[in-house]
Amino acid sequence: MFHRPVRENEWVSWLFVTLWTGIIFLTIPLARTLQEFIRNLWGKEVFTYIVLTAIAIGSLGAIAHLLRSKSTSLVNYFWLLLVAMVFVVYSYRLSQAPEEALHFIEYAFLGILIYRAFTHRVRNYSIYFSVALVGVIIGTIDETIQWLTPRRYWDYGDIWLNFVAVALAQIAIAGGLAPTLISARPKTTSLRLPFRLNIVFISLLILTLLNTPARVTWYADRVPALEFLKYNPSTMSEYGHLYHTPDIGSFRSRLSREELHDQDETRFQQAAKILDQYYERNTYSEFLQVYTPDSDPFVHEARIHLYRRDRYISRASRETEDESLNRHYLDVAYREHQIMENYFPNTLQLSRFALDQETLQSMESAHIPEDNYESPVSRHLITLVSERQLISLLLLTILSLIGLERFIAHREKSFLGT
């Protein structure tokens, strides 16, 4: 498949792609159970070792292929080494959740299979772009299935990991293995396929960016079979605001500064009463189901900030040996408390979550003002651009791609006509 055409029929090559994609999709409901089993049996580090072993085997296989080739140069080894290093660095960066690195194995192999299937028809450099686009389309569908699956979550970061894996596999093939089968420069007409695949991917992306909790509630109310989505803890896309406050740090909210102030002024008695009703930690899960980001974002966000504050106060109380870690826990708790004092002051003071003076002084004495702090509460919110701006930009991109694809098609037709 690198220097000679693939032997099997084209439909067989695509069958391999379909079967491997099916395996990826079918493991989604079982993944968490398997991961927990492996974690408990061997520890979470085993996932990193599995990925590193796969990288080593893949690299050795590629090197063996180069050693058999007569036209190998140091450049080929450089590209293989670079790809392997990027995979390794990414794997170690995911050490807190090492199971995420398994995406590299799944999608790097998928990228190779898609490449094999495309070689039946595409023999120019555009093949690598087409493979990467098919890979990211499958990766997006993969995440959508996860969003629909209990105990699994939607994550744009995972889509990025899927794309990186497929793209790095193509770089390894193009730069490292340098297949003579793929040697022609892409003609203008050969760009039609990547354009069309790009249109498909951006269209999928728009659908995910439009799938906000409010819209999920709207169609779940109208389609009984989808009612379970109203209680899905995983959010596909949400938009909000990013706030920076000196000495506190930054945090995100679904509400504007004016809305936060108005709700705390007008609803603090009701909000405090709701928070008190779910004061005990064992009622936290029930609270999240009843007061969702869509039904009551003000109370929802306040409770999560308080949960994080109290959780870190509890951690600090248990950490008696490491003074620096104890101080870190108290500093996190203090920052979350400051967010509540500055943006939910009336609600906080009237609720049972107001702290005694001794606890406040303990947190304040541990405060590390020089550290930058960003609250993870609602961190998935898209704050850089508004929904309208983002969707408009992507729609404009699609229209541009359609226009270019149609222009190329017209030129191709005119050329054949002459």
Q: pLDDT tens-digit profile of 135-181?
A: 999 999 999 999 998 878 899 999 999 999 999 999 999 999 988 88
For residue 317, tell me if it sits in a domain.
yes
Same domain, residue pair 135 and 257: no
Same domain, residue pair 181 and 252: no
DSSP letter (8 states) at residue 2: -
What residues have CB less than 8 Å from 102, skipping those under 6 apart? 47, 50, 51
- At residue 415, the pLDDT reads 58
d(CA 240, CA 253): 6
Domain boundary among 345, 365, 385: 365
For residue 299, tell me if it sits in a domain.
yes
For residue 222, tell me if it sits in a domain.
no
Domain boundary among 365, 394, 413: 365
Q: Structural domain of residue 322, as residue ranges?
A: 241-365
- At residue 416, the pLDDT reads 56
- At residue 247, the pLDDT reads 81
Same domain, residue pair 148 and 287: no
Angle in degrees, 0-180, between the axes of helices 268-277 and 257-266, rounded to the nearest 10: 80
Same domain, residue pair 145 and 72: yes
**What is the CA 200 to chain-centroid distance, rounded?**
19
- At residue 259, the pLDDT reads 97
Domain boundary among 156, 171, 186: 186
Same domain, residue pair 162 and 258: no
- At residue 146, the pLDDT reads 92
For residue 411, tell me if it sits in a domain.
no
- At residue 231, the pLDDT reads 79
For residue 23, tell me if it sits in a domain.
yes
For residue 361, tell me if it sits in a domain.
yes
pLDDT per residue as tens, the chain (418 positions): 667 788 899 999 999 999 999 999 999 988 888 888 888 888 888 888 999 999 999 999 999 988 888 778 899 999 999 999 999 999 988 877 888 888 899 999 999 999 999 999 998 999 999 999 999 999 999 999 999 988 788 999 999 999 999 999 999 999 999 888 887 777 777 888 999 999 999 999 999 999 998 899 899 999 998 888 887 878 899 999 999 988 889 999 999 999 999 999 999 999 999 999 999 999 998 998 889 888 899 999 999 999 999 999 999 999 888 889 999 999 999 999 999 999 999 999 999 999 999 999 999 998 888 888 999 999 899 999 999 999 999 999 999 999 998 888 877 666 555 5
d(CA 197, CA 133): 6
- At residue 1, the pLDDT reads 63
- At residue 180, the pLDDT reads 86
- Summarised one tens digit per residue, pLDDT across range 41-67 is 888 888 889 999 999 999 999 999 888
For residue 159, tell me if it sits in a domain.
yes
- At residue 153, the pLDDT reads 85
What residues have CB less than 8 Å from 305, skipping those under 6 apart? 251, 336, 339, 340, 344, 375, 377
- At residue 417, the pLDDT reads 57
- On the 0-12 / 13-18 / 19+ scale of CB atoms within 10 A, 315 is middle
For residue 346, tell me if it sits in a domain.
yes
Same domain, residue pair 22 and 163: yes
